[in-house]
Amino acid sequence: MDSLSQLALGASVSVAVMGRRVPVWQSALVGAVIGTLPDLDVFIDHGDAIRNMTLHRSESHALLWLTLVSPLLSWLVAGLLRQRQHWVAWWLAIWLALITHPLLDLMTVYGTQLGLPLTDCPYAVGSMYIIDPLYTLPLLVALGVALGRRDRIGLRWNQVGLVVSTLYLGWSMVAQSMATQHIGQQLAQQRVKPERLLVTPTAFNTLVWRTVIMTPERYGEAWWSLLSPNRPLEIHWYDRQPALFTPFKGQWLAERVAWFSHGFYAMRQQGRDTLITDLRMGEEPNYTFTFNLGAPDAPDVAPTREPSLRPTLAEAWRKLRERI
């Protein structure tokens, strides 16, 4: 999720745990900082664009490593604030602020390797868009009340904000399940048998869902709205060009994208160069992650990330209104 959501979640969790043991602003500040720490791995340069993408949300998001580092961080915080008598409470607050970060990231489609070092599988529920105001606003509003009042009523507001935002996460999975069921029924009616099927929300909402339908030779893109569930599914088909992947089989970088995207990728030719696109994020023709693998006969060239054209906020809202 976006940094603001992670900051708000970390602060809210910390305030809920620490209660009236310490000033509300202190627990909120510590929780906000701790809640954003795992994403600092984005500043690490791993050497090329594909490694930078697929090694984000790895060790810094692993539940085991975050659990092991939490006692040290809590000891440092308690010492810095001269509150060693509250060390155990700080430990719980900081541990929760840390592990809720990758658990929230898990709800997006990107992929979070929270099982390291036992498994490097990039888990992804994919029921939440990376930015969703309906998740973040309850946390911010309730946290603002808690900071403003600094009493039991304010703390209760903070708890309610956490409950509401968590219920919204639950709702997103219910909506995703409904969308998947309806889309599957319509694909069956159209006699489409997908090799893989992805159903994930569009920007800022859980009402309109984008689906990617993978077959061996092509991929389809379509949208389904919760407010018009029986509208026929209109699929736009595109060539995957799987033959372009053949020269890159066995090469770590190309195989890494195919693995990380769970098979939701497509190839295309650009001059002598071959491009590989992760189809999960973005939409046709603009995707967040497209990498230039270079020419098949030049495997030692470091891959580069192609620029992506993101729609303006006004354009995003226009598309959302149309698809609803």
pLDDT in tens, 94-138: 999 999 999 999 999 999 999 999 999 999 999 999 999 999 999
Instruction: Assess whether pLDDT exceeds 90 at residue 297.
Output: no
pLDDT in tens, 18-37: 999 999 999 999 999 999 99
Q: Length of the chain in residues, anyone?
A: 324
Query: In terms of Cα–Cα distance, which of 161, 133, 176 is closest to 16?
Result: 161
Kindly give the interhelix angle for 3-18 and 24-36, rounded to the nearest 10 degrees.
Answer: 140
Cα-atom radius of gyration of the chain, to the nearest Å? 22
Instruction: Assess whether pLDDT exceeds 70 at residue 200.
Output: yes
pLDDT at site 120: 96
Assess contact for 158 and 36: CB atoms under 8 A: no
> Which residue(s) pair with 123 in the sheet?
112
- pTM value > 0.85: yes
Tokens of residue 115, six digits: 């099982």
pLDDT at site 232: 92
pLDDT band at 299 (very low <50, low <70, confident <90, very high): low
Assess contact for 176 and 198: CB atoms under 8 A: no
Report the share of the chain in percent with pLDDT over 90. Answer: 90
pLDDT in tens, 50-98: 999 999 999 999 999 999 999 999 999 999 999 999 999 999 999 999 9
192's torsion region: left (phi>0), alpha (psi -120 to 50) or beta? beta
CA angle 312, 141, 114 (to 5 degrees): 70
pLDDT in tens, 210-241: 999 999 999 999 999 999 998 999 999 999 99
Report the share of the chain in percent with pLDDT over 70. Answer: 99
